[in-house]
């Protein structure tokens, strides 16, 4: 086999956008974890605390105590970042095994020089082209399977560079049902079933913003895990841009599955768009077939829905973004609610 497999590196190294010029911080006063129970003391922003929906009067921040319970079982307990060398070894181990099973009369030799390849030794020269064609197809199949197993996808970043990143949409789809109890508890803290969608969104947004930001780097300055799953953001009480975006999107998908949302990736950052009506000077965007209200889940700045950072605004207005719609569903199609 002459061609080496496609090797991608993680290109979306999502960093904190500086937002402090626009707002104060959503304050998390304390956090503790007791097994699967997460305990918070925090100050929701004005008009977002429980009961605020029942009055038109501005409210000062009120301290809330929250207890959130994670599920015992999860399909998504951990996430491993893409490691090209380890992935290549796994890929070629599988490919070599499949080739020997498919073509027992052919001898395959693994060449570990860069780029890696499989040398084909067949007693029938006329068979060589057929074996090469099969290997090329099987390599792609095994590569795609490897990505799927690890909740990863091959993609391009907003600057057009090919790479590997978390399959955010699939992760959100799985996490939304698993974090149902967490979402229900936050709904009640926000005011219950009668709370308006935008007020609920602002409450959830502020909660996610208040979770401490972490660039997920190793002590040597290199990207470490690269990404935390929504459950891990809660467990660790920390997360970076796309990790916190996925957490908010998972909560919203569970509570309001009929209201579409779109993940937005700009260079070195991520934000979210929700298909809710705009008000006043709200920042908006049409993407994924929806008119979107833009929001910044990263924090720590307390930016309500419709407000984003200056750098995010520049990237959006100049078209330097990548949109990933999260498929909306009918309300009654969510069995857990």
The rounded distance, in Å, linking the Cα atoms of 185 and 327 is: 24
Query: pLDDT digit string (tens) for 203-231?
Result: 999 999 999 998 765 433 333 457 899 99
What would the pLDDT profile of 3-49 be if each residue is shown by its tens digit?
Answer: 333 332 233 333 333 443 334 455 899 999 999 999 999 988 765 44
- Cα gap 6→53, rounded to integer Å: 53
Largest distance between two CA atoms of the chain: 86
Please give the model's pTM, rounded to 2 decimal places: 0.83
Residue 205 structure tokens: 């947004």
How much is the pLDDT for 99?
96
Rounded CA-CA distance 179/77 in Å is 12
Domain range annotation of the chain = 27-55+64-72+159-330, 84-149
Residue with tokens 């690890």: 150
Q: How many CB atoms lie within 10 A of CB 237?
A: 17
Residue 289: both structure tokens together: 């077939």
The average pLDDT across 225-243 equals 90
Q: What is the DSSP letter of 157?
A: -
User: Which runs of E-coded beta strand occur in the chain?
Assistant: 27-34, 37-43, 64-69, 107-111, 117-121, 152-156, 162-166, 261-266, 269-274, 284-287, 290-295, 322-326
* CATH architecture for residues 27-55+64-72+159-330: Roll (3.10)
């Amino acid at each position: 086999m002459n061609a080496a497999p496609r090797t991608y590196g993680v290109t979306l190294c999502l960093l904190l956008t500086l937002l402090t010029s626009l707002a104060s911080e959503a304050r998390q006063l304390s956090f503790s974890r007791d097994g699967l129970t997460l305990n918070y003391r925090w100050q929701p922003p004005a008009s977002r605390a429980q009961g605020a929906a029942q009055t038109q009067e501005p409210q000062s921040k009120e301290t809330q105590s929250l207890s959130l319970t994670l599920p015992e079982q999860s399909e998504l307990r951990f996430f491993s970042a893409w490691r090209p060398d380890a992935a290549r070894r796994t890929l070629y181990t599988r490919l070599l095994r499949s080739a020997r099973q498919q073509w027992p009369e052919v001898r395959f030799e693994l060449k570990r020089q860069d780029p890696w390849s499989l040398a084909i030794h067949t007693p029938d020269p006329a068979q060589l082209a057929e074996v090469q064609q099969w290997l090329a197809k099987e390599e792609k199949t095994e590569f795609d399977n490897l990505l799927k197993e690890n909740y990863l996808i091959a993609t391009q970043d907003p600057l057009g560079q090919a790479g590997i990143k978390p399959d955010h949409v699939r992760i959100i789809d799985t996490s939304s049902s698993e974090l149902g109890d967490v979402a229900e508890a936050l709904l009640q803290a926000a005011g219950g079933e009668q709370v308006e969608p935008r007020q609920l969104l602002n409450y959830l947004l502020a909660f996610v913003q208040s979770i401490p930001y972490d660039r997920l780097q190793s002590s040597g300055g290199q990207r470490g895990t690269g990404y935390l799953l929504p459950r891990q953001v809660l467990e660790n009480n920390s997360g970076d841009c796309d990790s916190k975006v996925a957490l908010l999107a998972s909560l919203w998908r569970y509570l309001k599955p009929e209201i579409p949302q779109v993940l937005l990736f700009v260079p070195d950052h991520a934000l979210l768009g929700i298909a809710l009506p705009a008000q006043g000077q709200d920042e908006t965007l049409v993407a994924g077939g929806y008119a979107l209200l833009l929001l910044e889940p990263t924090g720590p700045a307390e930016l309500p829905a419709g407000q984003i950072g200056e750098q995010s605004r520049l990237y959006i207005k100049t078209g330097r973004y990548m949109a990933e719609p999260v498929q909306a569903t009918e309300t009654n199609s969510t069995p857990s609610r």
